[in-house]
Amino acid sequence: MFGLLDGFLKNDSISLQKDILHHVAYTVARSPFSFDDFEAYQALAHSVRDRLIERCHDTQIYFNNKDPKRLYFLSLEYLMGRSLSNSVINLGIRDQYADALNQLGFEFEVVAEQEGDAALGNGGLARLSACQMDSLATLDYPVWGYGLRYQYGLFRQVIVDGFQHEQPDYWLNFGNPWEIERVHVSYTVKFYGTVKEELRNGENCKVWEPGEIVEAVAYDNPIPGYGTRNTITLRLWAAKPSDQQDMESYNTGDYINAVLNRHGLENISSILYPDDRSYQGKELRLKQQYFFVSASVQDIIRRFKDTHSNFDEFPEKVALQLNDTHPSLAIAEVMRLLVDVEHLGWDRAWDMVCKIFSFTTHTVSREGLEKIPVDLLSSLLPRHLQIIYDINFNFMEELKKRIGLDYDRLSRMSIIEEGAVKSIRMANLAIVCSHTVNGVSRVHSELLKTRLFKDFYEHWPHKFHYKTNGVTQRRWIVVSNPGLSSLISKWLGTEAWIRNIDLLTVLQEHASDPDLHREWKMVKKVNKMRLAEYIEAMSGLKVSIDAMFDVQTKRIHEYKRQLLNILGIIHRYDCIKNMDSKDRKRVVPRVCIIGGKAAPGYEIAKKIIKLCYAVAEKINDDSDIGDLLKLVFIPDYNVSVAELVIPGADLSQHLSTAGHEASGTGSMKFLMNGCLLLATEDGSTIEIIEEIGADNMFLFGAKLHEVPALREEGPSLKVPLQFSRVVRMIREGHFGYEDYFKSLCDTIEGRDHYLLGADFGSYLEAQAAADKVFVDQEKWTRMSILSTAGSGRFSSDKTIEDYAEKTWGIQPCRCPL
């Protein structure tokens, strides 16, 4: 049948116009003679969707015929942002669509602006998953992504009087043309109940009789690769009431209550947890994790069994990637299905588990490691608790043989943590059962070996690998910075860098070419104008595009030290105020831009946002200061706002206290866009230095090995006078709200765990160095070109090739064009 349709969807501008009008009339149900921008977006999206479906289908048929080893990427979070521009660019038909829309009286950019963000994740980990999916598709790997279809994405940040308020993001309100509902792809997921032992065929079997059953329904989101027909699938699960669950209630005649009771079950996939710091042992969160994992594993086993009559080849055909510990229950679920349902026997199942799982951790600190209270697991998933106990028992026995009765070590490595609240250490479970463990930058991977998982590294050195995160140049240059994209293609004489990022280094040869400089500065100027317009529309503040646009956008965390940035801005303000008019002429004008969300329960982070507003109000209203300094907080920072902000930045700040940022991927996006970095030597910055050289950026702050001694000194540490002065200004009410900000000041003048005082001096020096270079525009532009030219190592294409070869053992499987 599909053969008949082959070639049916044409991509010339006339066919696309017809197609859009067809969708206006029959999908959106509006008159093709009169529709607005949003309706045009809907019709356009459906037209693109048709093409995605075609390719998705071909890709799956091809994969099924070839039956390669597949990767299954398990992540509880994906920050996809918008899909329209990315899809048409990857499909290679953006210009044709732009033409078609033009003919219909619409502008592509305006129509694309109608789309809302898909924000099914918190921050770094979630956006990384999205970048990696783009690379996996582009590089033709046979992959399925799995996740949860939250009905409410990450909260919308609304600022009222400088305070953050959270509003629900009911993103499905306006429909979602990018997903395909698969009503027939569904699995039952069980919760609660008891485990009984039964004798079957002379063998003792565990039978789990659940107390609750929920249905998981698949929603497929096509992910098109660039320059390939391959389009892979991100399958997200939604919870629906299960008919099985209600049978009994219906039979007892309580029809009304039986129907009403169904609704609660949908809540499992309803809300994304917005705190990316602490695990609170919440039952709903655990339910979400298991729900998503169980449906995914059932789907994976079903797909394998479609083409295999036994499990002999399972480890050769299946790789399961754990994106942090959140999906680690997949380990116990695979064991349960293989042992209890497929009756493979424990040893054989265990052997397979050890061959298929790999684990990436995105966390630096011990406090950031996920733990599940045993009591909770025992009530929600009694059979899985047994399985985890059994895995741990075997592991402990094996360990004793190797290290003897070193009880301290045994208890540190145990999957079970004894203590006031007996818990499962999910990272230990993931390490014990995975063949490969990695961090997300080199220094992070080293820290895992020397600190966080030292015992495990000593036991299994071969399991520990090193990976560096990356971001996709398709989204972060081609989609978000079309001006720069064309410029790069022009100077390289090819668009091949969009698939082969190594080519970017050719820009180095032109780094001093005055023609390139002129064009490069022009692109930046246009991007800054776009950003300035956004700032004015959003806040009413007019900013000068001749000023240096200095940006810090990321989740608000104490360790990311937005507070250090604000203190630096207060210092700058204070200096300008005290200058005479002659000196003021030498000041480099700045527009300081800060953006990011604070977790709803994170009081200090919320105070930092309020402080930013308070300081901004003072500075921006001060006629004495004019264009020399402006401060603006961009509310509701998300993927599409990032696409606007990053290309317009001159300087970006990455200020984490050394040893706290596992990697950091924002810096890579800024780097690709020719933005200079002001940063500490932490996470991926260390590798960025290796690529572009320390003299191409502004580095400051304590290094990793210096941090412990500085912390040791505590409040007795000598801090610069300027630091005490700016903190005093806050305390004394220069920006109002002195009572509210008192605790903020206390944290940095007390224990100062994140070393703001210790790093303040060198931070100001780095800022001064940035000012100095900005005056020398030729030097600045050269550094900017070299930043882009050196960003190739941080393409997620590189990361994915590395994982494919060294961790997953998968090969490209390219669907013929």
- Catalog residues that contact ligand 26V under the rule CB under 6 A: 122-125, 128, 273, 275-276, 279, 324, 362-363, 440, 469, 661-665, 683
- CA 68 to CA 316: how far, in whole Å? 9
User: Is 401 annotated as catalytic?
Assistant: no
Distance from C-alpha of 97 to C-alpha of 107, rounded to nearest angstrom:
10
Cβ atoms of 817 and 229 within 8 Å: the answer is: yes
Q: Structure tokens of 756?
A: 């703001």
Q: What would the DSSP string read from start to end of 536-580?
A: HHHH-----TTSEEEEEES---TTTTHHHHHHHHHHHHHHHHT--
CB–CB of 137/228 below 8 Å?
A: yes
**Minimum distance between the CB of residue 662 and ligand 26V, rounded to whole angstroms?**
4
Q: Per the residue annotation, which of 70, 336, 463, 560 is the catalytic one? A: 560
Whether 444 is catalytic: no
Q: Which of 278, 494 has the CB closer to ligand 26V?
A: 278
650-660: string of b/e by CB count within 10 Å (b at 16+)? Answer: bbbbbbbbbbb
Decide whether 362 or 669 has the Cβ nearer to ligand 26V: 362
Catalytic residue among 555, 607, 654, 782: 555
- What does DSSP assign to residue 787? H
DSSP 8-state assignment for residue 815? P
Q: Min. distance of Cβ 470 from ligand 26V in angstroms?
A: 10
Nearest approach, Cβ of residue 276 and ligand 26V (Å): 4
Question: At its nearest, how many Å lie between ligand 26V and the CB of residue 469?
Answer: 5
State the minimum distance, in angstroms, from the CB of residue 56 to ligand 26V: 27
**C-beta neighbour count of 291 within 10 angstroms:** 23
Q: Which residue lies nearer to ligand 26V by CB, 298 or 358?
A: 358
Let me know if 665 is a catalytic residue.
Answer: yes
Cβ-based nearer residue to ligand 26V, 17 or 469:
469
CB atoms within 10 A of CB 607: 24
* Closest residue to bound ligand 26V by CB: 124
Sign of the alpha-carbon dihedral angle for 215, 221, 225, 228: positive
Rounded to a whole number of angstroms, the minimum distance from the CB of residue 465 to ligand 26V is 14
The minimum distance between CB 82 and ligand 26V, in angstroms, equals 21
| Alpha-carbon gap, residue 759 to 653, rounded angstroms | 14
Token code pair at residue 335: 């064991």
From residue 744, how far is each of 298, 562, 709 by CA, in Å? 49, 12, 23
Q: How far is the CB of 466 from ligand 26V (least distance, A)?
A: 13
Provide the terminal-to-terminal Cα distance of the chain, rounded to the nearest Å.
19
Please count the residues of the chain: 817
Are the beta carbons of 504 and 621 closer than 8 angstroms? no
In the complex with ligand 26V, the residue whose CB is nearer, 59 or 667, is: 667
Closer to ligand 26V at the Cβ: 299 or 661? 661
554 catalytic per annotation? yes
Q: How far is the CB of 484 from ligand 26V (least distance, A)?
A: 23
196 is catalytic: no
The answer to whether 610 is a known catalytic residue is no
In the complex, minimum distance from the CB of residue 325 to ligand 26V, in angstroms, rounded to a whole number: 9
Show Cβ contacts of residue 135 under 8 Å, excluding neighbours closer than 6 positions: 470, 472, 795, 796, 797, 799, 800
Which residue shows structure tokens 């800022």?
A: 767
Nearer to ligand 26V by Cβ, of 315 and 600: the residue is 600
Q: Are 639 and 81 in contact (CB under 8 A)?
A: yes
Query: Which lies closer to ligand 26V via its Cβ, residue 132 or residue 242?
Result: 132
Residue 368 or 792 with smaller CB distance to ligand 26V: 368
> Across-strand partners of 372?
424
H-helix or E-strand containing 418? none
Measured from the CB atom, is 384 or 444 closer to ligand 26V? 444
User: Looking at 654, 669, 782, 798, which residue is catalytic?
Assistant: 669
The counts of H helices and E strands in the chain are: 34, 24
Which lies closer to ligand 26V via its Cβ, residue 166 or residue 574? Answer: 166
Which one of the listed residues 69, 362, 597, 782 is annotated catalytic? 362
Q: Are 167 and 643 in contact (CB under 8 A)?
A: no
C-alpha span between 338 and 633 (Å, rounded) = 52
Residue 194 neighbours by CB distance under 10 Å: 11
| Residue 293 token pair | 């994992």
Collapse the DSSP code of 704 into the 3-class scheme (helix H, G, I; strand E, B; otherwise coil) and give the result.
Answer: helix
The smaller minimum CB distance to ligand 26V, of residues 659 and 757, is found at 659
Helices (H), 221-272: 243-251, 255-262
User: From residue 243, how far is each of 238, 240, 246, 248, 306 by CA, in Å?
Assistant: 15, 9, 6, 10, 25
Q: How far is the CB of 816 from ligand 26V (least distance, A)?
A: 35
Smallest distance from ligand 26V to CB 684, Å: 7
What percentage of the chain's residues is helix, strand, coil (to nearest 5)? 55, 15, 30
How far is it, in rounded angstroms, from Cα 691 to Cα 103?
46
Tell me which residues are annotated as active site. Answer: 362, 554-555, 560, 665, 669
